[in-house]
A and B are shown apart, each in its own frame.
Chain A
Amino acid sequence: GENVEQHPSTLSVQEGDSAVIKCTYSDSASNYFPWYKQELGKRPQLIIDIRSNVGEKKDQRIAVTLNKTAKHFSLHITETQPEDSAVYFCAATFSGNTPLVFGKGTRLSVIA
């Protein structure tokens, strides 16, 4: 069935270090992979997304990589700052024009 697995569920890093969150998906026909950041009590906000015809996309300190063969994609945050502390959700589309399927989230804590 349609499934997105996200790891790890929690992640603590020292300020200035890098953080990596990985998601795997079950449908090889998936073609859109967004990442959302949700601060405590706030709405999820799109921070970066990638489509299946691209292997990597970067926006300042944030990058997403996609490996279609292995069916996984990852979020990379470099030079982490305390304001990066939040829950991050990955998501993917599946065939059949269905809505996004979200991973269960990763709680990132950046320790100053």
Chain B
Amino acid sequence: DSGVTQTPKHLITATGQRVTLRCSPRSGDLSVYWYQQSLDQGLQFLIQYYNGEERAKGNILERFSAQQFPDLHSELNLSSLELGDSALYFCASSLWGKGKETQYFGPGTRLLVL
């Protein structure tokens, strides 16, 4: 157990809908990262937050957005869902700065868009 929690574990929804994925980082970690992993694919970095502020952005679609709250949990919002958005979504957390780069991953949320 990495100490990172994600809810829900599974999500089934229809095209055009909107969903919210939730992540709670390890105790003490200020940085949260979101990744998308499609079937048999690598880890696609979406976005990073540090202490409530957006820190880095990857290949995140405009239909997707995220935020980190004062209690440091984070939410990833996916809207106008398409079939191709079906994937595993991982959250990871870390401390931040030199020597503190190790990311610890949550169990993931499996999203199926029908």
Contact = CB atoms under 8 A, between A and B. Distances in A.
Interface of A: 31-32, 34, 36, 41-46, 49, 89, 93, 97-105
Interface stretch (B12-20, B66-74, B78-86, B105-113): B105-113
A37 to B, nearest CB: 11
Is the interface on chain B under 10, 10 to 19, 20 to 34, or 35 or more residues?
Answer: 20 to 34
Contact of B104 (A41, A46, A93, A98): A46
B53 interface: no
B45 A49 contact: no
Interface string B28-57: 000001000000001101001000000110
A64 B43 CA distance: 21
Nearest to B100: A32
Given A43-B90, A43-B108, A34 B42 contact: no
Contacts of A104: 42
Contacts of B42: 89, 102-105
Contacts of B90: 43-44
Given A45-B105, A46-B102, A101-B45, 9 more contacts: A31-B98, A34-B101, A43-B108, A45-B2, A93-B101, A97-B98, A99-B48, A100-B103, A102-B45
A43 B106 CA distance: 6
